Amino acid sequence: MPKAYWIAHVTVTNPDPYALYAAGATEAFKQFGAKVLARGGPVEQLEGEGHPRNVVIEFESMEQALACYNSGQYQAAKKHRADAGIANIMIVEGA
């Protein structure tokens, strides 16, 4: 079964509630056995629209990644992000 990758491109507009989101989301990722491959850090935007914060998280499967996203723990954390930034989030299956 191929792994899956949660990819997020984010612009944080209100750091305090976003920090609450990040803390809660991190706990959800741990609960679902996720491995953070990239979180923040320098970025070189080469094409298209970019965001200053980029995150890549590895899951054992697409099912595991979707279960994390749909979990009560992640959804509770997500509420803190609602007015704290602009986010584009996707889950892609590995090759």
Q: What predicted TM-score, i.e. pTM, was given to this entire model?
A: 0.91
| Residue 23, pLDDT score | 96
For residues 35-60, average pLDDT: 95
**Angstrom distance (rounded) from CA 78 to CA 42:** 24
Domain span at residue 72?
4-42+51-93
β-pairing, 53-59 vs 4-12, is antiparallel
68: nearest Cα among 38, 32, 94, 23:
32
Counting the structural domains of the chain, the total is 1
pLDDT of 40 higher than 90: no
Q: What percent of the chain has pLDDT over 90?
A: 97
Read off the pLDDT of residues 54-90 as tens digits, 9 standing for 90 and up: 999 999 999 999 999 999 999 999 999 999 999 999 9
Query: The domain spanning residue 24 has which CATH number?
Result: 3.30.70.100
CB 72 within 8 A of CB 13: no
